[in-house]
Structure 1
Amino acid sequence: MTSNDSVLATSVQKVFLDHFSTQPLVVCAPGRVNLIGEHTDYNEGFVLPAAVDKAVYIAIAPSTSSQGKWVSLDFNESVDIDFQQIVPLPQRWANYILGIVDQLQKSGKPIPLFDCVVAGDVPIGSGMSSSAALESAVVYALNELHQLGLSRWEMALLAQKSENEFIGVKCGIMDMFASLHGKANHVIRLDCRDLSFEYFPIQLGDYRIVLFDTGVKHSLADSAYNARRAQCEEGVRFFQKHYGAPTKSLRDVPIAMVQANRSRLSAEVYNRCLYVTEEIQRTLAACEDLKNGDLAAFGLKMFATHEGLRHLYEVSCIELDFLVDAVQGEPAVLGARMMGGGFGGCTINLVHKDAIDALYKKLAPAYLSNMQHKLGMYMVVTGEGAHVVE
């Protein structure tokens, strides 16, 4: 049990015992970061996430009454629940639990009523996927509690389906996959075409993973995301038409083929296709850097990814660019880029441990002065995927 496990696990367990006087099962599922491989998932490319040491904890046991009671310590709310009619609730956090129940029922695995207490330290809105951590904790806990026999792979698919259908967010599978499959001191290279995966060691030495939080989320994120998908699909149709059937996605298109057709594609479609094809290759090359223990080369690829997201994919924003530009000349920073869909959220940085405090003290006032937002900072360590807390 980690120190984090002990504090939050003890907390949910104690509240559960106070409410229900029954010894619960306690499960932890982590948030995640994505080191490199951005906007490649829906192009059947590769992503490189890692589970982190910030997580959601659930204490759970079968209900002994005609209703289940679910308690959120983070929101200081509780809901009484029955499964007569599974429809979305006003309490958004509870819907992430209910969506998992809904999917299990639909897959022929009836779930009896249960009581639970949930709490977490994954910062909401940070891009570390607190929602996927909650879904992963719930599906893992119910699988353990009722011996459903689901593999981690099956649980990830079920959690993704829950978010797509019950929550209504058309997310990919990376977040749940990382939460369920994480391994300390490793990243996961997930192939988004067939969901095969491989672990690569990440030996950080004196460097740490640091997230700088812009504190903003611009409203055009959703519409721009849909537009980028459509532009990628337009590119695929072009290459299918001119180069034949094997082109199912941009995964199948070499960089040189994109470059050779610059004059035949619109500027926007060309830029999107160039970024994606380069990022897929960059992610594969970054894995080789990790195998070779070359963190400096890996960091340079992070900077290159940000440049691509900024100029070719155009999903960055002035706040994210300010933070990456501000650290690019710092000797203590090996790499930095925006993380996630774009238009706000966090940058992910590889920073020497001895320079983190000084760097934040330098960045925070400059960011406040230039962007009129307070700069947030999180340090994360790679961690284990969903597990029972003993």
Structure 2
Amino acid sequence: MTISELKKEFIRTFGGAEEELRVFASPGRVNLIGEHTDYNGGYVFPAALTFCTTVIARKRNDDIIRMKATDLPEIVEGSIGTIDQFKDLKWGNYQFGVFAELQNAGYTLTGADLLYHDTTPHGAGLSSSAAIEVSSAIAMASLGGATKIDHIEMAKLSQMAEHNYVGVKCGIMDQFASAMGQKDHAIFLDCKSLEYELIPIQLDGYKLVLSNTNKKHSLGASKYNERRSECERGLEQLKEKLPNITCLGDVSLKDFEAAKDVITDETVLRRVQHVIEEDDRVKRSIEVLKKGDLDAFGQLMSASHRSLRDLYEVSCPELDLLAAEALKIDGVLGSRMTGAGFGGCTVSLVKDSAVDQFISQIGEKYRNTIGYEASFYITEIGDGGREIKE
């Protein structure tokens, strides 16, 4: 739907005039490399997509907050004074969690009518939740009178909403990429310091293609938090030999090799090994991309997938099939799962002339093996969270 169509839908839902409306948007993201490193204080390399959550917003003169999604029939209603009572909503809990964090951080909240339109595929590992969170944060802070929006703070508050309201101890990557993305750039982010560098993505003759398993899954708070706990256990053991480290992101590959014998649990050792080696792959990816060496970057992508499959164990047969079949096609430089895992998408670096073959050949193999369709998206890298002024 266009913004004009969304405004008309808003008026049909909530009444009033279009002149009162403001428009906000924030995108989903694809992580090009650096998976399950963010909550370990490591390095990631995400890019904002053109898939996004758009919010049509209008300030109210009371403390009532009404929200509706364009693809759902119900209007969700609450009030500023009862924000902490909506954790069990099937839709709307992410937004109320963000509003609660804004309030705790001292932002002025106002009643509002909010219409949401999502184009980020849900359950695809492309951070549709972060798109909802960051767009909600920017919209509500702006409606409350904030004239200068600190996008990094919006990302942090959105992350805390997921921790405290939704119950998933996610890292900062998804929200940071959604808030801070820039067209035709990826973000080399140090998740410990939040220092970042925008890296131009020059894929001359190649495309980034997302392949969606369409496997029904959720992030799986239990599995996600289990991996996080295993990494924390490994960190505490490494401190026996590396007493100055505060997170796994502080540990170099060389130091890990010298100290890893203190980790006695084989499962914990595999988890930590993935994180340390993945951080190293991210740093090498930046080096080779700055040189324009797409072949080397593709090899690092594929190595990342093998590590996520074998060491971190967050892949699944559907993701493994998509990644393996991609590498059988001439013109594919690399392929890996992206996102939390157990479903979602792979991201592949595909020569322009091979894209049609990629989609048809892998689509047929997936359908015949798995029993249902995969979906494919040729990605474009877009801008981060913003108010859209016409």
TM-score w.r.t. the length of structure 2 is 0.91
How far off is 1:261 after superposition? 5.3
Alignment of 1:1-390 (within 5 A): 7-18=1-12, 19-22=14-17, 23=19, 24-64=21-61, 67-86=64-83, 87-88=85-86, 91-148=89-146, 149-217=148-216, 221-241=220-240, 243-260=241-258, 265-389=264-388, 390=390
Once the two structures are superposed, residues 171-197 of structure 1 have per-residue CA deviations (whole angstroms, 9 ceiling, x without a partner) of 222111111100011101111111111
Residues 87, 165 of structure 2: 8 Å contact kept? no
The amino acid across from 1:135 in the alignment is E
Shift of 1:92: 2.8
Query: How much does 1:272 deviate?
Result: 2.2
Using the TM superposition, name which of 180-189 and 67-76 deviates more: 67-76
| 173-182 or 326-335: bigger deviation | 326-335
SS of 2:92 mapped into structure 1? helix
> Structure 1 vs Structure 2: percent identity of aligned residues?
38
Whole-angstrom CA distance in 1 between matches of 2:92 and 2:80: 13
**Quick check: 2:107–2:141 contact (8 Å CA) kept in 1?**
no
What root-mean-square deviation, in Å, do the aligned CA atoms of Structure 1 and Structure 2 show? 2.1
Secondary structure at the aligned position of 1:92 is classed as: coil
Contact 2:124 2:343 (C-alpha < 8 Å) held by counterparts: no
Does structure 2 conserve the Cα–Cα contact (< 8 Å) formed by 1:8 and 1:119? no
- The 8 Å contact of residues 238 and 260 in structure 2, kept in 1 or not, is answered as no
Query: Which residue identity does 2:22 align to in structure 1?
Result: L
Residues 291 and 162 from structure 1, CA distance in 2 versus in 1: closer, same or farther, beyond 3 angstroms?
same
Distance of 2:362 and 2:302 partners within structure 1: 18
Q: Deviations over 1:37-69 (max 9, x none)?
A: 011112211011110010111111112567443
Letter in 1 for 2:270: N
CA–CA distance in structure 2, aligned partners of residues 262 and 132 of structure 1: 34
Equivalent residues, number = 383
Distance 1:44 1:54, change over 3 A: same
Partners of 1:224 and 1:321 in 2: CA distance = 19
Q: Aligned partners of 1:27, 1:8: CA distance in 2, in Å?
A: 13
Unaligned 5+ runs, structure 2: none
Which secondary structure does the structure 1 equivalent of 2:82 belong to? coil
Show structure 1 runs of 5+ residues with no match.
1-6
SS in 2 for 1:378: strand
CA distance in 2, matches of 1:89, 1:39: 25
Seen in structure 2, the aligned counterparts of structure 1 residues 79 and 191 have a Cα distance that, compared at 3 Å, is: same
Structure 2 CA distance, aligned partners of 1:15 and 1:56? 15
SS of 1:153's partner is helix
| AA in 2 matched with 1:100 | V
Q: Are the counterparts in 2 of residues 221 and 342 from structure 1 also a CA contact under 8 Å?
A: no
Provide TM-score, normalisation by structure 1: 0.91
Q: Secondary structure at the match of 1:80?
A: strand
The match for 1:4 is none
1:156 is aligned with what amino acid?
A: A
